[in-house]
Copies of this chain bind each other. A is one copy, B any other.
Amino acid sequence: MMTINDVARLLKENDDILILSHHFPDGDTLGSAYALCGALQIMGKRARVECSDEIPNKFLFIKNSVEIQQFEPKYIVSADVADSKLLGSLCEVYGNKIDLCIDHHSRNTSFAKQSYVEGDSAACAEIMYLIVKELINEIPKSIADCLYTGVCTDTGCFKFSNVTARTHKIAAELIALGCDHALINKVMFDTKSRSRIALEKAVLDNLKFEYNGLCATVVLTRDMIASSGAVEDDIDGISSLPRQIEGVAAAVTLRELDSGAYKVSLRTDNALNAAQIAVGFGGGGHAAAAGCTIKDSRENAEKALLNAIGNALKEQNMI
């Protein structure tokens, strides 16, 4: 088993370091990758980050925290990447050439020559903070901002069950280093696009309750998505809406795919097993969160799901 010290030693020994983020980049993969890049540049090394996809506007301050450096990479590191496939289009170029993988997904596929994986870390940025502390003596605000963004975005602003005492301890140290925590949180959690607002309105217009309010269903059609101008980021937020409603034991989001089929996301509370319901439709998942795809009309898909949920509620004597 490697230690944080081993990781730091490898990074100190190598030069011209390329750091890779996963595709559809989020705050944790970008915050972790650019924090490491910034630290390596402070050490006088050449370093840069690559990502297969465009960086969303709200994360541009992370990208702008480092110098642009061009060089032929001699050492390749991945940050927050659980599987080489998640490098997107960069998988073909670098997939089998990763020297060091730094990650927090317990399902990591060990695709790199060496890996440091902490499956119980809430964010990859937690691990990266410990590494950066070993690399440089004084962590500048710009790197603290990157790391804080990684930690807060992967924990729903310290809301999720993945948060540990260490998560808060690291947040305390990043704030002491001067990170702009309140501004970062405003951008990440308190800013909604007009498309998102339009989509929320459309979704609330079709929100339906069944079984005395124990089941809530919303549908996202291709038309709704197109006419609101919503992007993936907007849609992600929406699917959590029905499960937030008080008294709801089963929350269903049906999203119409380009094929016309419906992608179903199912969230349940402790009383019901979401995976068991999803398996009945050829899907799967966890007890509290599962999914499946139904190739049928909206009406038939809704009806079949409601039936299955009704049966599960009956089994638990809830209706």
Evaluate contact between A163 and B175: CB separation under 8 angstroms: yes
A169 to B174, CA, bound (A): 11
Question: Is A164 engaged at the interface, CB distance under 8 Å to the other chain?
Answer: yes
Question: Is A160 engaged at the interface, CB distance under 8 Å to the other chain?
Answer: yes
Evaluate contact between A197 and B157: CB separation under 8 angstroms: no
Evaluate contact between B163 and A181: CB separation under 8 angstroms: yes
A9 to chain B, nearest CB (A): 28
Evaluate contact between A197 and B207: CB separation under 8 angstroms: yes
Evaluate contact between B185 and A159: CB separation under 8 angstroms: yes
A185 to B159, CA, bound (A): 6
A76 to chain B, nearest CB (A): 34
Q: Restricting to A247-266, which residues have a CB under 8 Å from any CB of B?
A: 247
Given A194-B213, A246-B194: A157 and B157 interface contact (C-beta under 8 Å): yes
A223 to B238, CA, bound (A): 27
User: Mask for A193-213, Cβ within 8 A of B = 1, else 0?
Assistant: 110010011001101010001
Q: Classify the interface of chain A: helix, strand, loop or mixed.
A: helix
A243 to B190, CA, bound (A): 8
Question: Is A70 engaged at the interface, CB distance under 8 Å to the other chain?
Answer: no
Question: Is A192 engaged at the interface, CB distance under 8 Å to the other chain?
Answer: yes
Question: Is A171 engaged at the interface, CB distance under 8 Å to the other chain?
Answer: yes
Question: Is A106 engaged at the interface, CB distance under 8 Å to the other chain?
Answer: no
Question: Is A304 engaged at the interface, CB distance under 8 Å to the other chain?
Answer: no
A213 to B207, CA, bound (A): 27
Given A158-B157, A171-B168, A201-B204: A193 and B246 interface contact (C-beta under 8 Å): yes
Q: Which residue of B lies closest to A168 (CB)?
A: B172
Evaluate contact between B205 and A201: CB separation under 8 angstroms: yes
A169 to chain B, nearest CB (A): 4
Q: A201: which B residues are within 8 A, CB to CB?
A: 201, 204-205, 207
Evaluate contact between B182 and A172: CB separation under 8 angstroms: no
Question: Is A244 engaged at the interface, CB distance under 8 Å to the other chain?
Answer: yes
Q: Restricting to A151-180, which residues have a CB under 8 Å from any CB of B?
A: 152, 157-161, 163-169, 171-173, 175-176
Max chain B Cβ within 10 angstroms of own Cβ: one of A166, A185, A207? A185
Evaluate contact between B159 and A189: CB separation under 8 angstroms: yes
Question: Is A317 engaged at the interface, CB distance under 8 Å to the other chain?
Answer: no
Evaluate contact between A160 and B182: CB separation under 8 angstroms: yes
Give me 24 A-to-B residue pairs in the complex whose CB atoms sit less than 8 angstroms apart, sorted by A's number. Answer: A157-B157, A158-B158, A159-B185, A159-B186, A160-B185, A161-B182, A163-B181, A163-B182, A164-B175, A165-B173, A165-B176, A166-B172, A168-B168, A168-B175, A169-B169, A190-B244, A191-B245, A193-B246, A194-B209, A194-B245, A194-B246, A194-B247, A201-B205, A201-B207
Give 9 closest A-B pairs by Cβ, nearest first.
A161-B182, A168-B172, A201-B204, A168-B171, A165-B172, A165-B176, A159-B185, A168-B168, A169-B172
